Every structure is written in C-alpha cells, then in structure tokens.
Amino acid sequence: MICATLVRALVLSAAFASALTPVQCLGEDGNQLPENATTELSPELLSLLRQKKMPKHSPIILRVFKEEAELEVWKQDTTGHFQLLKVYPICRWSGDLGPKSHEGDRQTPEGFYTITPKLMNPISNYYRAINFGFPNAFDKANDRDGSFLMIHGACGSSGCYAMTDEQIGEIYALARDSLSGQPSFQIQSYPFRLTPANLARHRTNPNMAFWEMLKIGNDHFEATRFQPKVEVCNRRYVFDAQPPSNSTNPLVFDPTGRCPAFVVNPKIARATLMKQRADEVEYAQMVKDNVPVAPIYSGLDGGMNKAFLARFPGKIVSLAIVLPPGSGSELPQLRAIPWTDNDGSLANKFFGALWGSNPASQRHVPSTDSTMHGRAADPATTASSAAPATSPAFPD
C-alpha cells in the first residue's frame, strides 16, 4: 500500500513538473531542425522548384509588403541568384504603415531580420510561427521595443503578419528546408513596394527617411538578386559593406557608434546606382506633376489582402477601437477610410482619391541617393565614416 502510494505520488509529481516546463520553439536548444517539424512540401511545389532550378535546401528570402498585403518567397537557384518562387496574399496585419516602436502599439515590424532555427515554432497556438526576433540591432539602437512579433497562421494579428494555416504550413516548410543547408534566412519587411510611384504618394509621411534607408537595401537586392549583407552603425542600416582596399583591419560595427570607413563591392554598387538614378528621375517627375499624397494615417487597424475580404468579413476595424484613449498610443482624430472602393481594390492603394481632399502641395523629401534633392551620399556607393548622430535620424 505504501509502495503504491509512493508510485502515485511520483507520477503526479512528474506530471506536475512536466506541466510547468515551458514549451520551447523549434531549434531553441540547438541549431538543427527535427525532420518531423512540418509535413513535406506538396508535389506541386516540389515540381515548381525543379522547374525553376531551385535546390530544395537552397536559401530563401521572405519579402513582406504591408500596403499590398503580400508575402513573397524568393529562393536561390543553381546560378546563385534569388528568383521569385511564390506570392502569398496576407490574411491580416495590424497597426498602420510605419515601423514598430513600442510594445502594445499594434505595429508590425519593418526592416531587415535574420531568422535562425530557434525562432521557428512548429507548435504555435497559431498553427506554425516564424518569429522576427524583434527587436534587432537597429531596433535596439533606436530604443524600439516589442516581443513575439511573428508570421503565423489563424488569420488574426496584433503586431504580426497573419496567414491562413495552409499558407503558413507551406511557408514554414520552405523555411525549414532552407535551414537544413545554412544557419539562417532573411526577412525583408517593407511598408509597401518601394517604387517611385509609392514613394511619391507617401512623400509627406514622417517615416519617409526611414523608408528611404530601407530602399537602399531593397535596391541592392532588386538590382543584383543577391541577399544583401546587413549591418548597423550610427543607428542606421548599412548594406554590403567591406573594408577599403588599403585597409588590413576587419570592419567592426557598433549599432550606436560611429560607422567605420567602408566600401561596397563595385559590381553591387554600380548595379544599385543605375537603379537608384532611374528611380529618382521617375520620382522627380511625379512630384513635379504633383501626384496626390496619401494620408499619413488610414484610421484603420491594419489591412487584409482583397482575396480574403469575402471570406473574412468584418476583420478590419478602426484603430480607435483596438487602441482606446489611455492606451499609451496617440491617434489623430480622423475618420476611417473605407476598406474598399467601388472596384474592390485596396483603399490604401488609392488613399488620395478616397480621402476626397485636394492634393497636398509639393514637398520634396530626401531620396534614395546623393544624386537627387541634395541628400547625403548613399553608403551603397561611397565610403562612410559618419559621425554618430545625437538622436535617431528617422522619425518613428
């Protein structure tokens, strides 16, 4: 009887201890992903990989575009370049355009993030999840904070990019397979596609300087189809930096300190500069034509790709509902913009027309390199040894 009681006590103790053990994210205790983390890729997707000459375990890059509510998966092919594999409509994102600043502001991250196995979670409450690892070095240097910001399933968001379970299952599997061949992959998260037309529409937004910095990394990728190497110094992102030819010392980057002198590989710099100059000409013409500007605030809590509007009605609500007075986030007193216009397209795409106001006066904002509008030299094409700023150069 005593033995049976002791056994029962030990079993209950073990069960209680197990219940208190925190659930770890996939790979949190190591660098390897278990083979059974997710199901295999579908035959259709495996066929697409073969068609595009993309090895199953080659690197991937995820590119997220808020305003368009799209997530792109790019994968390295046998030439070593990245090419587009697939575009997924985003079911839900929260907040407004602009980077995340503080815990609870509902903003989704914008910037460049490195994803390691420990940030992968196959047993998420939202089916599968890929953690951004926010805040990264840039976010910390600019006093930004937040936690548990992810790409996950379940089509619900509070600071995350939410997909359907089917979508995140496929995206997660692609990420898992890529991590079998390298230690990490990159997420590039943008407010919108950084085209001259979109930049012209948002030229009065206080986040423009930050977005133009992101555009440098975006241009490095789009001009070369190679993954940009990302560093942080002087509270800024720096891309594809390497030591000057006359230097024998390795580069050392301090996120809050002075940037070391560096150069960019001439092939990357030339291709990027060509793209930037073409974009600047197009942008300048649009500003000259006084294209309508988008309102800085939509009044809505995030967005949803139009592919999901009928399937998930009522998901988009006013920010005032989810961030009531006293929540710590200041919101302008603006009426919300209708989510769709008459042809069902995204409201954000036509902010100026939907708002019903006269186009704002022209206002030039620093652009993507030193060739236009008197902006400081683009570190993509010149050596840098900028002095540390006394405060962040990009308004949040």
CATH number of the domain enclosing 341: 2.40.440.10
At 391 the pLDDT is 34
Do 181 and 251 sit in the same domain of this protein?
Answer: no
Residue 181 CB neighbours (<10 A): 12
DSSP code of 48? H
Instruction: Provide CB contacts within 8 A for 366, sequence distance 6+.
Output: 208, 209, 212, 373, 374, 375, 376
pTM score of the predicted model: 0.76
Question: Would residue 141 count as lying in a domain?
Answer: yes
Same domain, 88 and 203: no
Residues 184 and 210 in one domain: no
pLDDT of residue 387: 38
Residues 57 and 140 reside in one and the same domain: yes
Domain count, the chain: 2
Angstrom distances, CA of residue 119 to CA of 17, 264, 280: 25, 30, 37
User: How much is the pLDDT for 325?
Assistant: 58
What the block records as the tokens of 162 is 């939410």
Residue 33 lies in a domain: no
What tokens were used for 137? 């070095």
In whole angstroms, what is the distance from residue 176 CA to residue 204 CA? 40
- The percentage of residues in the chain with a pLDDT greater than 90, rounded to a whole number, is 62
Whether 163 and 201 share a structural domain: no
In the predicted structure, residue 393 carries a pLDDT above the cut 80: no
pLDDT confidence bin for 392, thresholds 50/70/90: very low
Any domain includes 235 = yes
pLDDT at 81 over 80: yes
Per-residue pLDDT of 178-206, as tens digits, reads: 999 899 999 999 999 999 999 999 999 99
CA–CA distances in Å: residue 106 to residues 131, 147, 270, 320: 16, 11, 39, 12
34 domain-assigned? no
pLDDT tens digit string along 124-156?
899 999 999 999 999 999 999 999 999 999 998
Please determine, for residue 35, whether its predicted confidence score (pLDDT) is greater than 90.
Answer: no
Mean pLDDT to the nearest integer, 229-243: 97
Q: Which two tokens stand for residue 93?
A: 């994102």
Range of the domain at 51: 40-193+296-358
Rounded distance between C-alpha atoms, residue 161 and residue 150, angstroms: 6
Q: Quickly count: other Cβ atoms within 10 Å of residue 77's Cβ.
A: 17
Helix 208-224 and helix 266-288: axis angle, to 10°? 130
Confidence band (pLDDT; 50, 70, 90) for 37?
low
> What confidence score (pLDDT) does residue 321 get?
78
pLDDT at 27 over 80: no
* Percent of the chain surpassing pLDDT 70: 72
Same domain membership, residue 377 and residue 315: no
- Cα–Cα separations (whole angstroms), residue 33 to 36, 75, 114, 175, 213: 8, 19, 16, 10, 34
Angle in degrees, CA 193, 64, 281, rounded to 5: 15
How high is the pLDDT of residue 358?
36
pLDDT tens-digit readout, 238-266: 999 999 999 889 999 999 999 999 999 99
Looking at the structure, tell me whether residues 302 and 312 fall in a common domain. yes
- For the segment 80-89, the average pLDDT, to the nearest whole number, is 98
Domain co-membership, 159 together with 246: no
Residue 17 lies in a domain: no
pLDDT of residue 319: 76
Residue with tokens 């295999």: 40
Q: In which band, very low, low, confident or very high, does the pLDDT at 38 lie, cut at 50, 70 and 90?
A: low
With a cut of 80, say whether residue 36 has pLDDT above it.
Answer: no
User: Would residue 90 count as lying in a domain?
Assistant: yes
Closest CA to 98 of 291, 302, 305, 379: 302
pLDDT digits over 324-381, tens only? 555 555 544 444 333 333 333 333 333 333 333 333 333 333 333 333 333 433 544 4
At residue 331's C-alpha, the angle toward residues 325 and 333, to 5°, is: 95
Please enumerate in sequence order all residues whose Cβ is within 8 A of that of 62, keeping only pairs 6 or more positions apart, or say none. Answer: 71, 72, 73, 74, 130, 151, 171, 175, 185, 186, 187, 188
Residue 232 falls inside a structural domain: yes
* Cα(335)–Cα(216) distance, integer angstroms: 34
The tokens of 315 are what? Answer: 């998901």
Both 230 and 242 in a single domain? yes
Q: What is the pLDDT of residue 218?
A: 98
Q: State yes or no: pLDDT of 386 exceeds 50.
A: no
Residue 151 sits in the same domain as residue 271: no
d(CA 196, CA 175): 31
Q: Cis peptide leading into 191, omega within 30 of 0?
A: no
Q: How confident is the model at residue 88 (pLDDT cuts 50, 70, 90)?
A: very high
Answer whether residue 177 shows pLDDT above 70. yes
pLDDT in tens, 284-296: 999 999 999 999 9
Q: Are 188 and 62 within 8 A, CB to CB?
A: yes
- Rounded to an integer, the average pLDDT of 20-49 is 62
93 occurs within a structural domain:
yes
Domain identity same for 270 and 202: yes
Find the mean pLDDT for residues 103-121: 95
**Ramachandran class of 102: left when φ > 0, alpha when ψ lies in -120 to 50, beta otherwise:** beta
User: Do 250 and 374 fall into the same domain?
Assistant: yes
Q: Which residues are catalytic?
A: 152, 160
Q: What pLDDT was estimated at residue 32?
A: 56
The mean pLDDT value for 4-28 works out to 39
CA-to-CA distance for 190 and 186, rounded, in angstroms?
Answer: 13
What letter represents residue 207's amino acid?
N
